Structure 1
């Protein structure tokens, strides 16, 4: 069942429809929030606020995204992150826990212990590479690869020109390759 149908069902009173939308997108939305705020508790709070705002908007029939639920939900999450930092007048600097990784919550195929260790090491390298990027580039990479948004959707969400979004992605890739070359990092086997 597609998102537009689920939204319609929820607006007609079917509570299971919103549960399905949350189940379908919770990991992608949470991951996008976490990568922006770098704090587990704050990410969880903003994730909950995101779905409260989504539910309230759906109840008021303020959803008109022609079935594109995920970009709409990610835009709400992104705006809540921005609002939070405007209110706090601070930006995320550190992770709240060295033990927690957003990759722990992403779905993975079952791996044997050796494959799991290799995968975890690679994900830690990717996180470290993302940390080296300027905020505007990191944001585009996260929305593209973890949020699954198109460049058109990213440009709309961030209120930037599509060429700016493409440029930020291009420079992010160049920067990540540069760091990988300097440190002789290989992610492929």
Structure 2
């Protein structure tokens, strides 16, 4: 099996044993999810870069110390917890940084970079985003969380289960209920979402 296909837990063990390339594989495997998670909370590229780097300084330090990592293969959820703690620390220490709780929203169009949108399409896009935010806000917290992680952070159901500390079946159930509840809100409020 190629090293790039090894499970996270094996790569962590290899890194702790001195294989520096194992950490590079882990970083490459998860960097977009971790970066996306941080950015979704702070909405600033420079701060995201700083926290992303600091997160991996802590990861390296902890793994090299060989005493604080016992996540049983849940590497991504462990790193996301580190990032989350650093984000909270940043909010607490930097009074200039706005404590905007709206950063938890799901921005469906966050990855769209089509500059050719005409004025009408931009208006429709903005209205759809507002409507979707309204729908998601009406969901219970656990359902909102799984929607955000699945569609915004592109996390697998296993990763979401690991991060939230529930089973994969519970995660799938929350997703199913979230979609059902979103459909009910759309029908009840007669919201039109163009495809």
TM-score bracket, normalised by the shorter chain, equals 0.5 to 0.7
Shift of 1:19: 0.4
Name the counterpart of 1:58. Answer: 63
Aligned residues of 1:141 and 1:169 also touching (Cα < 8 A) = no
- Name the larger-Rg structure: 2
Aligned residues of 1:46 and 1:80 also touching (Cα < 8 A) = yes
Structure 2 CA distance, aligned partners of 1:141 and 1:25?
19
Structure 1 CA distance, aligned partners of 2:51 and 2:182?
29
Distance 1:35 1:102, change over 3 A: same
Distance 1:130 1:23, change over 3 A: farther
Structure 2 CA distance, aligned partners of 1:33 and 1:13?
28
| Among 31, 35, 47, the residue aligned to 1:30 | 35
Shift of 1:125: 7.5
Structure 2 CA distance, aligned partners of 1:49 and 1:91?
20
Aligned residues of 1:46 and 1:77 also touching (Cα < 8 A) = yes
Name the counterpart of 2:162. Answer: 153
1:10 is paired with a residue whose SS is helix
Distance 1:27 1:93, change over 3 A: same
Distance 1:128 1:81, change over 3 A: farther
Q: TM-score, normalised by structure 2?
A: 0.62
Structure 2 CA distance, aligned partners of 1:65 and 1:168?
25
Q: Looking at both structures, which has the greater relative contact order when contacts are Cα pairs under 8 Å and sequence separation is at least 6? A: 1
Alpha-carbon RMSD = 4.2
54-63 vs 139-148, which moves further: 139-148
| Among 101, 111, 134, the residue aligned to 1:103 | 111
Q: TM-score, normalised by structure 1?
A: 0.64
Shift of 1:9: 0.9
| Among 53, 76, 81, the residue aligned to 2:82 | 76
How many positions carry a matched residue from both structures? Answer: 166
Query: Unaligned stretches of 5+ in structure 1?
Result: 96-100, 106-112, 158-162
Shift of 1:85: 1.2
Query: Unaligned stretches of 5+ in structure 2?
Result: 1-5, 104-108
Structure 1 CA distance, aligned partners of 2:125 and 2:11?
33
